[in-house]
Structure 1
């Protein structure tokens, strides 16, 4: 994805999040609207590529929440100074989805530009992609490439959405099979779906 967008991956990272309903936390305002689970992250800079395993991300605040609600996000006016960044994202006039101070202070990558697009498949919203950088983007066409409905990035975005949709259904099927004590059929079905996706990508010239 980073290659298709043409961004500098030493200062930019791309992260894919899967949405989870978390029905067991319906009375918890922190998890209202579900949570997000990190599926994949890429950056050539090991500092930005680092992943915190098993961490959940709220659907109630920040760029992830804003992207989920709006379908598309592009914001390039974050302060470069870390202290001013915290003050900005926690202020009452921060229109993207104000972040709690304790969360903002713990954010390792205080990005100056953030773009996001919601992942959709078969009329289902399944997750988001967040692209962020610690140095301003100077490519004026980047915003259009992220939002476009056709082209290389759009193809990859659609494919990622389908993969996450399959993953979510597989997890649901596995839970149901465990509850009912039934043998699982999801692995062959999931494998066939991924084989089909790989074939379509190959035909599109994307590997």
Structure 2
């Protein structure tokens, strides 16, 4: 076995891990999207029925709002991997195939930079290390840092807000993984595989 083959073996293994992680994440996102859609529909129907019956459930409105928030971020992550995110092609469609490929790689790299930046921002905001140093005491942590994320609760559900805000770091990690998977495909380092469980027409995949 040549030295070049040995040196490229770890790189191939990393690519396979990334693609497998992206595929598994996309499959989970598909199930999560379906579950949230069913949940949102049920919440709205129950809300309508109870309001007309003059017995409204006060926490349903807030539940529906947070369901939409999670649905939006999970859907945005899945759309990134499926390349269904918005793209303006008025200029790139007039360029050569090589120039279009360069623009596509640049756009995909920007997604990765955004994801990594969002991960860093979430780490600074949620500050898990500072919370651990405070002995996971939310009030002590808030007194030391003036960060009241872990002491706040929602208005009607009375849930800890940090649990609902977890959608941000989850989205940051997922969009970064999907972005790297897309970049590997754009660079021709891996073979493009059609996503499982998603029926895409020829007009889809605009990016």
- Same-fold status (TM-score > 0.5): no
Give the TM-score of the pair, scaled to structure 1: 0.24
Structure number with greater Rg is 2
Instruction: Name the one with the larger strand percent.
Output: 1
Give the TM-score of the pair, scaled to structure 2: 0.24
Which fold has the larger relative contact order, with Cα–Cα distance below 8 Å and residues 6 or more apart in sequence?
Answer: 2
